[in-house]
Amino acid sequence: MDADGIRKPRQTAGPNSHRLRLPASVPIALSLGLLLAGSLSFAGSLEDLYIGGFVSQGYIDTSENNYLVPKAREGSGEFNEVGVALSITPADRTRIGIQFLARDLGEEGNNQVMIDWAFGDYHWRDDLGFRAGKLKLPYGFYNVVRDVDVARPFVLLPQGVYDERIRDFFTAYEGASLYGNLHHEPVGDLDYEFYVGTLNVPSPESGFWGDIFQRTGESAAADSSFRADVGDLYGVDVEYISSGGFIDPHVALPWLVGGALTWTPPVEGLRFGGSWLRSRYEASARLLFNVQARDRETGRPEYFGFDIPDPRIQDDVEYIMSLSAEFARDSYSAALEYTLQNTGGTDHVGDTPVTEGYYLSGSYRLLRDITVGAYYSRYWNDRNDRDGEEALRNGYPEFSAWQHDLCISARFDVSPNWLLKLEEHWVDGVGQLSPSENQDANGQTDANRYWSYFAAKATFHF
């Protein structure tokens, strides 16, 4: 055992004893289940310079499970955003802009200032333009305006399609795109965008990727073949293995390609859309484990730790696609969106899990300053495991295979620059909860199937 408390394998374990691998049955089921540049409506123009921004403070309080923030069951204000955007038109058909953003949502962001988006845009003509930089990722209708609170009545977008856990790395990509608008009088307008680039993961130690590494270790610890391999390697009869977490995480998505189409027919307020992307991810971390066992020769109890150094997870994101429909007219609006996400990995029989989600939402402006809304969202980690049998096989409760959410909200436009949102959620399932934030003293999942949460958010925008 070294100075870090990590036990070394016995030399008698064989010539390959230095390479302990995760069993093939451990699933790496990633549900990457992921604001167009210049999409903000900037205020305070001076000649060709536009400046805008926002400051928001939120609150979240859950009835049973911790969600999005570690202490949500106690009520938490770790939910805020500050953004400042600048845009200028230095020449005809040319625009450049940047937005600085600081946000905090539990372990995400921690109010570190980052570049949310930055772009150079050359609009050659209506049917063809080019932009490059850090650009908003066109996924669904609302990913490109995700940080624009004035654009929607809800505190949180429907999580069946817009998973808040992946927001930090799925709202913008670094690359270039071609875009344009094709107009034909009988059929309406077709807006298109095709892009290529890469995705940056700022915090692989927490949030979505932290959960992936945590689940990988937990699934390995629950696998009988892995326990047998550990016993043979160290010359012990393993009684119990638990995950000890992970250190030194690294995640890269070195390339992605994709596109989005939006058709606006000649019907006031109606539009349809679709988006698709393909990518590849490379992830690694040092997985830690704790073992309770007995020495095979002496029968003496043994308690030790070991690690699997730098196990690499590499796979293709075959597709992340969305289909969208929206109708908005006068005081009414309604939207329906659907997503499928094949992000690689395999289950115990070698199949690739496909994440599925959809929602239906509606809103109505009761008065000039009051809007009410509701949505029903459904989400499955694997569309082929809707009843949770695969989740049970991997040591998780069956209701960790899904998360369905009914939300009712109210928005109050207190003044031209202030707005307040309040909403209540009733949830079935824990498919989007962080395992590390919902564990008992023994490191086992501690979550309730049926739960609810309240969210509030106040925003000042200019």
Topology given in CATH for the domain delimited by 11-461: Porin (2.40.160)
| Banded model confidence at residue 20, pLDDT cuts 50, 70, 90 | low
| Cα dist from 432 to 9, 31, 362, 416, 442, whole Å | 37, 9, 23, 35, 21
Q: With the C-alpha atoms ordered 324, 364, 143, 408, is the resulting torsion angle positive or negative?
A: negative
Predicted confidence band of residue 31 (pLDDT cuts 50, 70, 90): very low
Residue 340: pLDDT over 90:
yes
User: What are the structure tokens assigned to 181, written together?
Assistant: 């608008």
pTM for the model stands at: 0.83
Instruction: Tell me if 379 sits within 8 A of 402, measured CB to CB.
Output: yes
User: What Å distances lie between residue 452 and 19, 36, 160, 405, 423, CA to CA?
Assistant: 45, 33, 16, 9, 11
- Domain residue ranges of the chain, discontinuous segments joined by +: 11-461
More confident residue, 218 or 43: 218
User: What pLDDT does 17 receive?
Assistant: 37
| Cβ atoms < 10 Å from Cβ of 30 | 25
- Rounded distance between C-alpha atoms, residue 458 and residue 421, angstroms: 6
**How confident is the model over 187-197, as a mean pLDDT?**
97
Phi/psi of residue 282, nearest 5 degrees: -135, 120
Structure tokens given for 13: 């374990």
pLDDT tier at 380 (50, 70, 90 boundaries)? very high
Q: Is the confidence at residue 26, as pLDDT, over 60?
A: no
- Write the burial class of residue 209 (CB in 10 Å: 0-12 exposed, 13-18 middle, 19+ buried): buried
Task: Report helix, strand or coil for 437.
Answer: helix
Q: What is the mean pLDDT of residues 89-98?
A: 94
pLDDT at residue number 24:
46
The structure tokens listed for 223 are: 């696998």
